[in-house]
Amino acid sequence: MTDNEKTPAIEPVEDKLVDEVVERLMDRAEASGASLLGEGGLLTEVTRAVLERALDVEMTDTWAMRNTIRPAVARATAATGPQRRPC
């Protein structure tokens, strides 16, 4: 592997897995008579659920990082003393 080739941080989802999930959702929607589009439709609800979960993960990661960084900054400031910014 060369320096120019980068490995992805997250492995891409396999097309087969996506196809399987979509097929199962479509089958269940068809069996229950659910609408695909519009308010309360399958696409709307799946999109909302994915976005809410992604936001929840992002917020959890952000708060976890802040709770890790703040104590470290406080310790560093205590060790070096407060610094004044030049005007």
pLDDT in tens, 57-66: 888 877 766 6
Q: Which of the two residues, 56 and 9, has the higher pLDDT score? A: 56
In sequence order, which residues have a C-beta less than 8 Å from that of residue 36 and are 6 or more positions away? 29, 42, 43
Query: Using one digit for the tens of pLDDT, what is the confidence trace for 12-59?
Result: 778 888 899 889 988 988 898 888 888 888 888 889 999 999 888 888
- pTM for this predicted structure: 0.50
For the cut 70, the answer to whether the pLDDT of residue 74 exceeds it is no
Residues 19/13, Cβ–Cβ less than 8 Å: no
pLDDT band at 1 (very low <50, low <70, confident <90, very high): very low
Taking the C-alpha atoms of residue 53 and residue 66, their distance in angstroms, rounded to an integer, is 20
